[in-house]
A and B are shown apart, each in its own frame.
Chain A
Amino acid sequence: MKKQLITPLIIFGLLVVLLVVGLIKAKYIRDVPSPLIGKSTPTFNLPTVEDTQKTFNSEELKGQVSLVNVWASWCVSCRAEHEVLNYAAKKKGIRIYSVNYKDDLNDARQWLKSRGDPYVKSAFDSNGRLGIDWGVYGVPETFVIDQQGKIRYKFTGPIYINDLENIIIPCINSLKAGKEAQCEKK
């Protein structure tokens, strides 16, 4: 009798372990792994938000480690993130480029004027075509680009201050030092 109970109990125990692991991992499950990690950034050549006569070319991302932040003025969670980006650019000296995704040009300019502009340069992606090429599926998203212009990490959702300190900055530092990229979520 007792022996008969053991097998179902073991199976039940394994199932519980499986479900608990699933619950813990569920936090990250929304993040779709990007196939672009380790590849060169998809090329683009778009007008800038600051001046639509000027252009922002993907070639400009080569040469140094930088972030590319995808944002929009209609994106609510970008507001919280914007403060963190201001801090990262001004206090931590991080080079941040941006892609203004499916936005209204005047709204975007107004946003940068009133909330501060942490960006070196902002591409104006009015129809979201660059977004498709970069596999953007929700704003904000942030890419870490290395000196060779390759995408090394993708952060989905708003970067909060602890994400900046625990993930983004170690990632940038490891790339700057030419070491193996340490960009994984802990």
Chain B
Amino acid sequence: MKKSKVLILLFVFCLLPVLVFAGPQKAPKPPIVFENSQVEKDYLELAKQLRCLVCQNQNLIDSNADLADDLRREVAKMLKQGKSKKQVTDFMVNRYGDFVLYNPPLKSTTWLLWGGPFVLMFIGIFILLKKVRSGRQDRHTDSSELSDQEKQKLQDILNK
């Protein structure tokens, strides 16, 4: 019983963003149709790389938001007009910023994002090598050389 209530609450909660960004109620728009398969391929590729600004963890293909639909149509329209993928991407970036791209470009503000993992990897390798080396050295000194105290102890045992 309790579980079903939780589920209903969860469902209502999921609907909240839809309510906030709900667009005007109009008849469904016609689907986007392509005559050229290459254009369609480009369209699908682009719409997967562009972020829906309303539901920020979805791309244009996944999102049902009103704005995502508008942007999908805009992308389709521009590609049908013969614009290149680069032109469409620039069009979006000029309006919504780099945030609209799922793959952020490499520039001064994003070098940490791109370089960070490699920096962390090198630090890790460095620490690992150091540990391995010092561990090997420790074992070396431990096994080969006896301290004066140990030598004395050994002598005592041998002399018994």
Contact = CB atoms under 8 A, between A and B. Distances in A.
Interface of A: 30, 32-36, 72, 74, 76-77, 102-104, 107, 127-128, 131-135, 137-138
3 tightest A-B contacts by CB?
A137-B53, A135-B95, A35-B97
B66 interface: yes
B24 interface: yes
B20 A35 contact: no
Interface stretch (B38-46, B67-75, B141-149, B150-158): B67-75
A137 B67 contact: yes
A38 to B, nearest CB: 13
13 contacts: A34-B96, A34-B97, A35-B95, A35-B97, A35-B98, A74-B24, A102-B23, A102-B66, A128-B70, A131-B67, A135-B96, A138-B21, A138-B54
Interface string B88-128: 00000111111100000000000000000000000000000
Nearest to B70: A128
B56 interface: yes
Interface residues on B, range: 20 to 34
Nearest to B24: A74
Nearest to A35: B97
A23 B16 CA distance: 22
Contacts of A127: 70
Interface of B: 19-24, 53-54, 56, 66-67, 70-71, 74, 93-99
Contacts of A36: 95
Contacts of B93: 35
Contact of A74 (B22, B56, B70, B94): B22
Contact of B70 (A33, A77, A104, A132): A132
Interface centre among A77, A104, A137 (most CB of B within 10 A): A137
Given A35-B94, A133-B95, 7 more contacts: A35-B96, A74-B22, A74-B24, A76-B20, A132-B71, A132-B74, A138-B21
A32 B99 contact: yes
Contacts of B67: 128, 131, 137-138
Contacts of B74: 132
Contacts of B22: 74
Nearest to A127: B70
A134 B53 CA distance: 13
A146 to B, nearest CB: 20
A72 to B, nearest CB: 7
Contacts of B70: 127-128, 131-132
Nearest to B94: A35
A33 B97 contact: yes
Nearest to A32: B99
B95 A104 contact: no
Given A74-B22, A128-B70, A134 B96 contact: no
Given A32-B99, A33-B99, A137-B67, A76 B19 contact: yes
B54 A137 contact: yes
